[in-house]
Amino acid sequence: MLKYSISIIVAIHNGLATNKLFLAALQKYTCNNYQLIVIDNASTDGSRQFFELNNAEVIANNVNYSYPVCQNQGIEIANGDYLFFLNNDIIVSPGWDKHLIETAVMHNVDVISACGIENLGNSHDTKMISRRWKLIKNPFSAIGFTAFTLKLIFKIMYPNWEQFCENRFKTYHNNIVEGIVGNNVMITRRALEILGKWDERLQEADFDLYIRTKKRSIEFGDIKPCQISLGVFIHHFIRMTSKYSAKPNPFADSKNLIRIHEKWNIDELRDMHPDNFTLSIKENNRV
Domain boundaries, the chain: 6-284
- The answer to whether 78 touches 189, Cβ cutoff 8 Å, is no
* pLDDT at residue 283 in the model: 52
The number of angstroms, rounded, from the C-alpha of 112 to the middle of its chain's C-alpha atoms is 10
**CA 266, 268, 273: angle at the middle one, nearest 5?**
90
Pairwise CA distance, residues 96 & 79, whole Å = 20
Pairwise CA distance, residues 115 & 152, whole Å = 22
More confident residue, 284 or 155: 155
Domain 6-284 has CATH 3.30.700.30: no
- The answer to whether 232 touches 166, Cβ cutoff 8 Å, is no
- The answer to whether 269 touches 277, Cβ cutoff 8 Å, is yes
Q: For the whole model, what pTM was predicted?
A: 0.92
pLDDT value at 286 more than 60: no
Per-residue pLDDT reduced to its tens digit, 68-125: 999 999 999 999 999 999 999 999 999 999 999 999 999 999 999 999 999 999 999 9
- The answer to whether 50 touches 16, Cβ cutoff 8 Å, is yes
Lowest mean pLDDT among 127-136, 140-149, 164-173: 140-149
Average pLDDT of the segment spanning 3-14: 93
Amino acid at 287: V
* pLDDT at residue 246 in the model: 55
Q: How many CB atoms lie within 10 A of CB 34?
A: 18
* pLDDT at residue 61 in the model: 97
Is the dihedral angle over the CA atoms 221, 222, 226, 231 positive or is it negative?
positive
Per-residue pLDDT reduced to its tens digit, 224-282: 999 999 999 999 998 765 544 556 678 999 999 999 989 998 776 666 554 555 555 54
Residue 45 DSSP symbol? S
- The answer to whether 185 touches 111, Cβ cutoff 8 Å, is yes
- The answer to whether 71 touches 11, Cβ cutoff 8 Å, is yes
Lowest mean pLDDT among 18-27, 148-157, 168-177, 273-282: 273-282
More confident residue, 202 or 239: 202
Question: How high is the mean pLDDT of the chain?
Answer: 91
Beta strands in the chain (DSSP E): 6-12, 34-41, 57-61, 82-86, 90-91, 111-115, 176-178, 184-188, 227-233, 235-236
Pairwise CA distance, residues 215 & 194, whole Å = 13
* pLDDT at residue 141 in the model: 79
Provide the pLDDT confidence category of residue 287 given band limits of 50, 70 and 90. very low
Question: Please, which residues bridge with residue 7 across strands?
Answer: 35, 83
Beta strands in 164-267 (DSSP E): 176-178, 184-188, 227-233, 235-236
